[in-house]
Amino acid sequence: MKSIFLDTNIVLDILDSERKNHTIAKQLLEKIVIDEYSVTISEDMLSTIFYIIKNKHYFYFSSCFKT
């Protein structure tokens, strides 16, 4: 099986539809799945991605409920 290591920015592009390269990253992910790659990311990336996405969604949701 082929394997690929994804960079933090690519994962963020996949997860965040407002990022500039979101569409390209989604196309890359589709190719990775179709071609049956094994995807690898680092443990440090997980915490970084969680922190960035969590904070973005927190500010989005908190702004929705302001009175």
- Distance from first CA to last CA of the chain, Å, rounded? 53
Residue 3's DSSP bridge partners are: 38
> What pLDDT score does 55 carry?
75
Q: Which residues contact 15 (CB under 8 A, 6 or more apart)?
A: 49, 53
> What pLDDT score does 21 carry?
94
Least confident of 1-10, 23-32, 54-63: 54-63
pTM: 0.76
**What confidence tier does 11 reach under pLDDT thresholds 50, 70, 90?**
very high
43: Cα separation from own chain's centroid: 14
Q: What is the DSSP letter of 36?
A: T
DSSP three-state, residue 37: coil
> What pLDDT score does 33 carry?
94
